[in-house]
Structure 1
Amino acid sequence: MPSAQSPLPLRLAWGDWALLVSVAVTWGSSFWLIKIGLEDFPPETVAWLRILLGALALTVIPGSWRPLRHPSDWRGITLLGVIWMALPFVLFTVAEQHISSALAGMINGATPLVTTVFAVLLFGHALGPRLVGGLAVGFVGVLIIGLPNVEGAASLAGVAMVLLAVTCYGLSFNISGPLQARNGALPVIWRIQLVALVVSTAYGAPGLADSTPTLTGVLAMVALGSLGTGLGFVLFAILVGRVGAPRAAINNYLVPVVALVLGAGLAGESVAPLSVAGIALVLVGAYVATSSGRRRVPPTPG
């Protein structure tokens, strides 16, 4: 874990890459699992169940119960419960009623770019020419991904909801770093999920009455919650502590590929060739933006 004064590492160690790939696989498969869950449950219930099951998975790990070092950290945890869990999860599930899981995963590939923008705005990272160029290329890539798939107001709204969720992720990744550096990944992520559960229960739980659960749908939700929302977020928080938010967000280079393979390969979803070209631009832009040399890590508050 980098210290408050040390620069971010120029290269990822093998352990960092293992964490990065693990997160990419669990999060990339989440879009496909959401699609399966929507066959049995309303979208708001899918979002609620993944939070509930993720929190339950972390509850059985004693390290999650460790107290916070600073009571004031509850402010950041409460904010993250809304913008990292409750709101984006609902946005993704509602969006996938109008767009494919593969498209949702591809747009999610813009997360490293958004993360880097917030790192510049909130934490004073240098806005160098490579960063500006990478952000510009990635923005064009997002447009190319989304535009061929917009067929009417419903699909346009779906794309907009995913973009809003990605914006929430980019902000959350930056806020979570100092919190987990002080308290550890497990206590922070578990409490964030508990806050999200409180926020979303009144909205998501009533949908169980209108659900038609099948074994496939239930297994998809268990995997989505325990792995994607439980283990995946903890691994990512650990990665943020080791290499910083902009570099940790590199896992999203691989998320669109996993989502595309599962959505198009297993779910039979169609993918516009131009959108695949857009993925390439997003990945190139994100790589350039997040590999522009040493960056200053802001002092840790408190």
Structure 2
Amino acid sequence: MNNTNSPASMPMWQAYLTLGILSLVWGTSFILIKKSLESFTPVQVACLRMSLSALAFVPVLAYNYKRMDWSRLPLLMVLGLCSSALPAILFSTAQQKISSATAGVLNSLTPLFTMIIGVVIFKVTVKTRQVLGILLGLVGAACLILMGKGGISNSPVDYASLIVLATVFYATGTNLIATKFRDMDSLLVSAGSFGTVGVPLGIYLLLGTDFIPRMGTLPNPWQSLGYVVLLSWVGTVLATIIFFKVIQQTSAIFGATVAYLMPIIAMLWGVADGEKIGLLHVGCMAVILVGVYLSRKQ
């Protein structure tokens, strides 16, 4: 059984603050994936990420067993695949050949695909200001890509296309939350979606890959495992619960604009690492922030 009442709208200040926190957490996840790949294969990183996330939700599923709407299990599995498992595999694979910063800016395509899929498949109504906000955010992100060190031009097209495909899956999952799970507790949605995909991927990790031998033979496997744990329990479990709540109480398009803020976080990490930032970069960030503001459906 689930709550049949749609959640109340989130206050504007709270929506923007939450979006900022999510962008900080997810903007850092790309570097964590890069560090994890030092010891594990892309598939192993993805399976670890999903299985550790599922493990964190086991107590939630056990405690809320009677509250869970188990008739939605197939749809929860589709949500888990689209919003978590498949993008995790695609990002890990792509980041073998492209930088974490490039992966972050390519991820900014998510809001655009969210709007397109929402309108075409889910028949979601969008306002003119939301369309303008999406386009402004896309322009700002594209400028950051063009000015970025290395940029898309130095990245293999086939690997970069994996990130683009991942954003399509993210967009599909975001629309599923907004249209099919708005009346369901975000904690239960997260627990159900991760549980359905994380358990089988965990079994495959242990029985179908050389994960265990790697842990005993590689020089620093525990350090890489620590990065995956941080990526899973903070960047996936906690952030996903918050993200689902934001979508339920605002809109799919507004929630997806967190992808526009990630390049800003990636650039700020670069500044902290000694890279310089110019007025054009600041201008692009301003354009992105205006786009995020306009995308919020009143």
Structure with bigger RCO (C-alpha 8 Å, 6+ apart): 1
Query: Which residue of the partner structure matches residue 172 of structure 2?
Result: 171
Corresponding residue for residue 87 of structure 1: 86
**Alignment correspondent of 2:268:** 261
Q: Is 2:234 the counterpart of 1:227?
A: yes
- Which residue type is aligned with residue 183 of structure 1? M
26 and 276 in structure 1: CA distance in 2 versus 1, 3 angstrom threshold: same
Aligned partners of 1:270 and 1:204: how far apart in 2? 41
3-state DSSP class of the match of 1:50? helix
CA contact (8 A) 1:177 1:241 kept: yes
Matches within 5 A, 1:1-302: 12-61=11-60, 65-67=64-66, 70-140=69-139, 144=143, 149-151=151-153, 155-198=156-199, 200-201=201-202, 204-205=205-206, 206-208=209-211, 209-210=213-214, 212=218, 213-262=220-269, 265-266=272-273, 284-288=290-294, 290-291=295-296, 294=298
TM-score by length of 1: 0.78
Residue type of the partner of 1:232? Answer: A
Percent sequence identity over aligned pairs = 28
* Residues 236 and 133 of structure 1: CA distance in aligned 2, closer, same or farther (over 3 Å): closer
Q: State how far apart, in whole Å, the 2-side matches of 1:163 and 1:272 are.
A: 28
Q: Name whichever of 126-135 and 189-198 sits farther off.
A: 126-135
Task: Work out the CA distance in 1 between the residues paired with 2:223 and 2:276.
Answer: 22
Residues 145 and 278 of structure 1 are in contact (CA less than 8 Å); yes or no, is this contact kept in structure 2? yes
Task: Say which SS state the counterpart of residue 72 (structure 1) adopts.
Answer: helix
Unaligned stretches of 5+ in structure 2?
Answer: none
Give the conservation status (yes or no) of the 8 Å contact 1:28–1:255.
yes
User: Is the Cα–Cα contact under 8 Å of residues 33 and 92 in structure 2 kept in the other structure?
Assistant: yes
Assess if the C-alpha contact under 8 Å between 2:36 and 2:45 holds in 1: yes
Cα distance in 1, alignment partners of residues 142 and 14 from structure 2: 34
Tell me how far 1:133 sits from its aligned partner: 3.9
Distance apart, 1:159 and its partner CA: 1.8
Note the C-alpha offset of 1:190.
1.3
Q: 1:110, 1:138 within 8 Å by CA — same for their partners in 2?
A: no
Separation of aligned partners in 2, 1:193 and 1:28: 21
Aligned partners of 1:102, 1:2: CA distance in 2, in Å?
Answer: 41
CA pair 175-169 structure 1, distance change in 2 beyond 3 A: same
Secondary structure of 1:60's match?
A: helix
CA distance in 2, matches of 1:26, 1:167: 21
Counterpart residue type for residue 29 of structure 2: S
- Uncovered stretches (5+) of structure 1, i.e. residues with no partner: 295-302
Partner deviation per Cα, 1:173-218 (whole Å, 9 max, x = no partner): 1102344433311222112112222453466441413453434322
